[in-house]
Amino acid sequence: MKKKVLITGGAGFIGSHLCDELISKGYDVVVYDNLIPQVHGIGQQRPDYLHPEVELIKGDVRDKRALTDALHNVDVVYHFAARVGVGQSMYEIDEYTDVNNRGTAVLMEVLMERPVEKLVVASSMSIYGEGLYTSPSGQCYQSVARTMTQLKAGDWELHDEQGNTLQPLATPETKTPDLASVYALSKYDQEKLCLIAGKAYHIPTVALRFFNVYGTRQALSNPYTGVLAIFASRYLNDKSPLVFEDGYQQRDFVHVKDVARACRLAMEVPEAAGEVFNVGSGNNYTIKEIAEKLAECLRKPNLPPQLTGKYRVGDIRHCFADISKAGRILGFRPEVDFRDGLNELAEWLKEQVAVDEVDKAADELSARGLTV
């Protein structure tokens, strides 16, 4: 008999690709999603891209009764439902905490009564805060931060006690979390709630810390989504993308199809139970470089990134993934070359229309003193 899988928040970007991955491997898939207008538009209709074999249940993860009904005969749960975005989380504190933290608590109470064979929760690289660093002398730094004084002076890098510039290293799962935003706090809460309750109620649970995921189906009109989608929205409206600081902050960009495969492996590999895994590409690029590469793919060379020289509260300087643990235990290896992934994204973008809300979002942050 086919296993039945439920994905909370599964009508979104990553969730919909996971649907494709699971159905291609013979699983039955149910999606439970509230189709939030910021992501799905005011019509809140079933997305055209959602696989036709997916059963879609419209519901809020905080609705215990509806969630209980949706879990009927479900074997495996992927918990993706969450409000997403560092910047917005810093002023929609109640909403992010209610959806992400309380929503996860509601899910775990339902699973107490309806245990499943496996639970996989989507966590985030944001919980690390700054990534791992090393000093010129070779000392490793797990927890470092930039002062407001240096940020106002445009001194963007991290320094040791002697003022030497620290060099970023690939960040492993063993790094101590350093929660720099409300969003990061809520994602860590989701991760820990699932792992703690899963252990208590004998539900094998896996947490996946996604790095910067890119690909088709991103919500282009949501100014708080992934950075590549935000840049794409600007380019589609013939505007230069806005880049905070000097553009040389480093991130790990991983293709959504690789992420979907990692999610499937987390369910299928028994040894994954109780573990936390980074899901990234193992590579790193500067944000400025990413903007320029996307412009090249979209043939927008006349729209170079606009460097704002501003800092956004909650942002970090460098963080990219050490994915050796996922390789060792899950057998996960990224397969999509970054250039190929960007070209695929560019082809999809040619058929898309994006409402550019980036300037409005920037004004929201500035009005609340969240950029300096």
End-to-end distance of the chain based on CA atoms, in angstroms?
Answer: 57
DSSP-assigned beta bridge partners for residue 24:
none
Cα 228 to Cα 367: distance, rounded to the nearest angstrom: 25
Q: For residue 187, which of 100, 315, 275 has the smallest C-alpha distance?
A: 100
Distance of alpha carbon 158 from alpha carbon 170, whole angstroms: 15
- Could you list the beta-strand ranges (E) of 55-125: 55-58, 76-79, 118-124
CA-based R_g, the chain, Å: 20
Residue 153 has which token pair?
Answer: 């002076």
* 240 vs 224: CA distance, rounded Å: 17
Cα-Cα-Cα-Cα dihedral sign, residues 224, 225, 229, 233 = negative
Asked whether the beta carbons of 334 and 258 are under 8 A apart, the reply is yes
Which own/partner contact pairs does 53-58 have at CB distance under 8 Å and 24+ positions apart? 53/23, 53/28, 53/29, 54/10, 54/19, 54/23, 54/29, 54/30, 55/28, 55/29, 55/30, 55/31, 56/11, 56/30, 56/31, 57/30, 57/31, 57/32, 57/33, 58/33, 58/34
Selected catalytic residue, list 27, 133, 183, 188: 183
- CB neighbour class for 134 (10 Å; exposed up to 12, middle 13-18, buried from 19): middle
Identity of the amino acid at 19: C
How far apart, in whole angstroms, are the C-alpha atoms of residue 16 and residue 185?
25
The H or E element that residue 254 is part of is strand 253-255
- What is the per-residue burial (b if ≥16 Cβ within 10 Å, else e) of 51-68? beebebbebbbbeeebbe
> What's 289's DSSP letter?
H
- 183 a catalytic residue: yes
Catalytically active residues, by annotation? 183
